[in-house]
Amino acid sequence: MQTFFIIAILVLGFLITFQIAKASEYVAVIRGEEKSRKQTNKINAFLLLLFLIVGLIGVWYCNDRLAGKILKIGEASSDHGILVDRMLKYTLIATGVVFVITQGLLFWYSFKYQESDKRKAYYFPHDNKLELIWTVVPAIVLTVLVGFGIVYWYRITGPAPKEAMIVEITGSQFKWEYRYPGADKELGKKYYKKINPEEQNPLGQIWEDEFNHDDVYTSGQDEPLHLVVNRPVKLIINAKDVIHDVGLAHFRLKMDAVPGTPTTMWFTPTKTTEQMKKETGNPDFVYEISCDQMCGAGHTSMRGTIVVETQEAYDQWFASKKSQYAMMLEAKNPPAADSAGAKPAAPAADTVKGLAQLK
């Protein structure tokens, strides 16, 4: 029934519009084509000027009222994000000035120079000076913007610093998974056919590779990604099934996660999570990892979080984690209960090298 009413309203609206158009034609015939055209031109000229004024007021009003609700992500929280914001600012200033001038003149001229019997339109087919101005000036402005863009692009996409920490992010429908290298600062090799969550190998790590023995795995469903403030981080990005995209709005960065083709990006977080809570006035603030590529029915729920903390806090957190290799060994060979019936504590990540001998 609701669909029927919607269709009926649309049909009725079309008929009303059609009848108004036909009535306008009849009025034009009665009054005379030329007189009707002149009257229509006056009305349109006034409406164009009114549209300009009301439109600018509406833009200002919406921006003033909704500024805190639209893209409320605050200032960039990474070194590269600052460059992105700066480039966006320069571009908006340049294009904004041109927009205001050209649109203002467009609507004002439409009103001021409407058809009049007292004025004859001046026609000129060519003006070298005018063409030189509107060609050279935009070319200079665009050259400056492109120059900034190229410099920033190579800075953002260049190689990560040698001291950068490494973290692997893997996307799958519909979650994120993370892997951190241990003391060797190297991630072990993986092979997709080795993926077996039941045997504590959710990423397909090759256990014969010793670099895998101290790698720490965490699931984004259980805890956030941990990064260190003011320390560069290189993200190695993968996907298990379809194309995903690591979107870091607060850091102003994003990169596709492609199955079988690892991608990378790097940046330096400049604000801790606690700092952002104070700046935003939101005690529940978290840095977010969103999937910015449509990846299936659960795409909108594919969300992860990031904790940016001090080096001391990160070290303390990492020391409390077991390597995935140790988790695998425990799953295969559960430790026997002691006389009190309690199982001994599992080894921490820094003692995992000794576990390699149990293999």
Quick one: pLDDT at residue 324?
Answer: 94
Overall average pLDDT of the 316-325 stretch: 94
Confidence class for position 73, pLDDT limits 50, 70, 90: low
Residue 59, pLDDT score: 85
pLDDT recorded at residue 358: 36
pLDDT tens-digit readout, 98-146: 888 888 888 888 888 887 778 777 777 788 888 898 899 889 999 999 9
Does the pLDDT of residue 354 top 50, yes or no? Answer: no
**Per-residue confidence (pLDDT) for residue 111, from 0 to 100:** 84
Give the per-residue pLDDT at 71.
Answer: 56
Residue 150: its pLDDT value, please?
93
Domain boundaries, the chain: 11-70, 72-114+126-158, 165-334+349-358
pLDDT of residue 349: 45
- Mean pLDDT computed over 39-52: 84
Give the global pTM: 0.74
Pick the range with the lowest mean pLDDT from 48-57, 66-75, 286-295, 316-325.
66-75
Q: What is the mean pLDDT of residues 244-260?
A: 94
Lowest-confidence pick of 125-129, 225-229, 347-351: 347-351
Give the distance from CA 36 to its chain's centroid: 52
What is the predicted pLDDT for the residue at 29?
A: 64
Side chain identity, residue 146:
V
Give the architecture (CATH level 2) of 72-114+126-158.
Orthogonal Bundle (1.10)
Q: Is the pLDDT of residue 33 over 70?
A: no
The answer to whether the CB of 250 falls within 8 A of the CB of 267 is no
pLDDT at residue 348 in the model: 47
Which CATH superfamily groups domain 165-334+349-358?
Cupredoxins -  blue copper proteins (2.60.40.420)
